[in-house]
Amino acid sequence: MKIIIKLSILSMLFAFSIPKPYQMYIDTHLHKANRLKHSTGVPVSIQFAQAIYESGAGRSNIAKQSNNHFGIRCGDNWHGGRHYSKSGCWRSYDNVGLSFVDHACFLQDYYPHVCFKGWEAWTTLEGYGESGYWKKIGRIVERYKLYELD
């Protein structure tokens, strides 16, 4: 009985540990995300939660082909590189760093009222992606304890 209880506790402790590919991604890009947090006010936790959700932390086909780690579509006002797929036009970047910069600036332009606030403020937003998008991002922040990066 004691062994079962100990195993249950251990499985609960590791149930929401961050997967190794995500941790490697965070380790690689943490410096960029921190710099952008200080210049744009977009929390590190939000940046990584969106990268995990939108591209599997840079592992999606779109991310690999266009360096777009945040699923940002071209839109009418985009004058940079473009990547076309069956699902539409996606912004394309020469490197991942530019994807991080554009993403943070994009959020700063559209959501200035939550920049320089905690990650929780972002979970109350609407009007980006599908219904409930920001709540999903918040659940990723909580699940992997990304708030510890802020």
Does 53 have pLDDT greater than 50? Answer: yes
For 79-114, the pLDDT digits (tens) are: 999 999 999 999 999 999 999 999 999 999 999 999
Check: CB of residue 55 under 8 Å from CB of residue 140: no
For 119-145, the pLDDT digits (tens) are: 999 999 987 778 899 999 999 999 999
Domain count, the chain: 1
For 28-50, the pLDDT digits (tens) are: 999 999 999 999 999 999 999 99
* Residue 90 in domain: no
* Residue 116 in domain: yes
Element (H, E) at 49: helix 44-55
* Residue 76 in domain: no
The domain containing residue 30 runs over which residues? 16-59+95-149
* Residue 133 in domain: yes
Interior/surface letters 105-115, b for 16+ CB within 10 angstroms, e for the rest: ebbbeebeebb
pTM: 0.88
* Residue 85 in domain: no
